[in-house]
Structure 1
Amino acid sequence: MTTAALPYWRLSSFYLFYFALLGSTAPFLALYFDHLGFSSARIGELVAIPMLMRCVAPNIWGWLGDYSGRRLAIVRFGAVCTLLSFSLIFVSKTYAWLAMVMALHAFFWHAVLPQFEVITLAHLKGQTSRYSQVRLWGSIGFIITVVALGRLFEWLSLDIYPLALVLIMAGIVISSLWVPNAEPVQSERIAGDGFLQQLRSPGVLAFYACVGLMQLSHGPYYTFLTLHLEQLGYSRGLIGMLWALGVVAEVLMFLGMSKILARFSVRRVLLASFLLAALRWVLLGSFAEYVWVLLFAQVLHAATFGSFHAAAIQFVQRSFGARQQGQGQALYAALAGTGGALGALYSGYSWNALGATFTFSIASLAAFAAAVIIATRMQEDRP
């Protein structure tokens, strides 16, 4: 397939806006709730709610996408409903109302990405090594947003934060209307197998368990890193650039992933990603006051997200047939959501009581446990 046949910019624009939204929530959502006066426990709960919805929503929408084949319609519907439901945040800022808004908009937001991943891979027509070249624009959207908002919140009040999110959500809606549809080609090798049968293939369940552990380990990072660095004396502008540094490293990793996956097996890439994650959380929890350590820890985002996600997407794509791709991607999203929600909850309850070092140490143990599972339960695959 030639580059001209791939709707590269249409696919890339969607990833840019979708992950721009993540770039506006991951570093700043907890900061906004802190600005509203909520305790660390309540912040952990509010951040966990969208992740809990990620456990349920992708499976519902994934089944519907596989059953109907109308994946792009689901993407567009989910994007519009995400915008409309989040706009309810302007009505009230009470805990109960914010919890409802977090749950409602997340139910639709998490319908979008797993189905879009299937559409993207269908456009690539089996050339999964090119996935990273499209997906890197999501990382660029994250970088632009996190740096811009970091600087903006040095000048203006966090009261404008919900408006910034609504504008980005409108970009997701517009970009979804620009994307052409595509359906995965039926695979003769596993087309006749059901989803549960494919799920019981060697190493698949072990992989999904490790997805949950990896996202659990990210709980303190996504929930409290910004507050952690503020308490250490870093400015919001610098914090935004530190978040961006991690995603720049992720982008560079995505650019090289096709060569890496051509040389090394998915199992080895995943194993390295988990071990480096375990190291990263120790550094952030215990040594973040040293700038050079903090810079190195953020560069490790190339492994804890970049190489992990690219290898995981390739593993899911090759492990399921065309009619089960949506469910395979949805289960990946759901278990990531389960792990992320548990990570946000435990870190919310332990942050003030036990401190940053202990909280990040739990994260490191979770990542190391995933490395052990991959090393012992996943079979070596051909690169």
Structure 2
Amino acid sequence: CCGHIVLHCRRCVYILFCTAGAVFTLCVVPQVLCNTGGLTEIPIKSLPSTVEHLSLSKNHFPVIKSDAFAGLRGLKKLSLDANNISVIKPFAFRGLPRLRELSIQHTPLTTVAQFSFAGLQNITTILLGYNRIQRVEGYAFAGTSNVRLLYLKYNPLHRLESSAFSGLSNVERLLFPSGIRVVEPDAFTGLDTVGYLQLAFMDLPYLKPFTFRGLSHVHILGIHDSDLGVIRPGAFEGMTQIGVLSLKNNKIDAIQELSLRPANRIKVLTFRGNHLLETPRSGAVIIQGVEELNVIDNHFPCDCRIHTLLDSPLANDTTGIDFRSKNYCISPLEVNGKAMSDLDLDSIGRCQEQVTRGNLEASKGSAHSGGIETYLLSDSVIIVYLLAVLYNR
């Protein structure tokens, strides 16, 4: 017969699973719970090598040392929530080939240091939410793969540093907190094979050159609900094999350059619900090699540059949608919210034509004013001449 036995020993609860045989009874310890035990260090010497689920929540060890769990090769689930962890040393979780779920949440941890989560080959879930993480250093996850979820939400993480995710591969979902203010060049270099990379609720002054360089094999790259500031030249240069590039519900001050070329190998570009404060200049938008382009529900300035917009690649929606009927005006104020199809485009002159026409009108006005002054001067001379003649008589 089989059964469970619960043992309480040294602030921990050991749950034993025992199988009775004809000669002897075999017991293993699949689960150990050391929660609210007041431990000041990880009791590695007291833990059986057969443990599969280890919970060390609400204790008092501030440092997770390198190889802190060495010897627990059967460990599948590890919870370190609600501890006062402030430092995680490099390769802290090395030697855990069967670890599937790792949770470190509700701690004062401020920095994910280099190589702290390196070498986790078969882990499926890394939960790092609700901490005080402000930095993810380069190569923090190097060599870690097969992750279904890397969860970083609800941290004061305002800057994504270069190479922060280098060496991380085969990630189904990578979720960041809101409020990111700086994304450094090459922040995603070396990040390979991602199902869904979500960047939302950012507050950026600009999207820098080479922001996504080195990012490859992403099913969906979603940039949503953010203030992107100015999209600078080369922001998307160097990323490859993107299934869907989705820019939705963002505020964009200006697009200095949006260049997507065949080398990027983007299948679908969705540009939806964005508000642009300035129309991209002629040649600023280059979209080549994209199989499907969907541009809908955006708001653009409907000033003299609307003709430049309608001549740009953004207006070449490939889904059969009429660009003018499904995109709207953000300015001038009198046409705010109106569909572009409601405008009389012939009445809106092109910017260069307006400047030329204005210069011509100004020149004509000056010439006309000069002519009037000349005529007035001539009349005065004639009057003086006539008075002089009459006086002499």
Which TM-score band applies after superposition, normalised by the shorter structure?
Answer: under 0.3
TM value normalised by structure 2: 0.18
Which structure: greater helix fraction?
1
The higher-RCO structure (CA 8 Å, 6+ apart) is 1
Pick the structure with greater CA Rg. 2
Which structure: greater strand fraction?
2
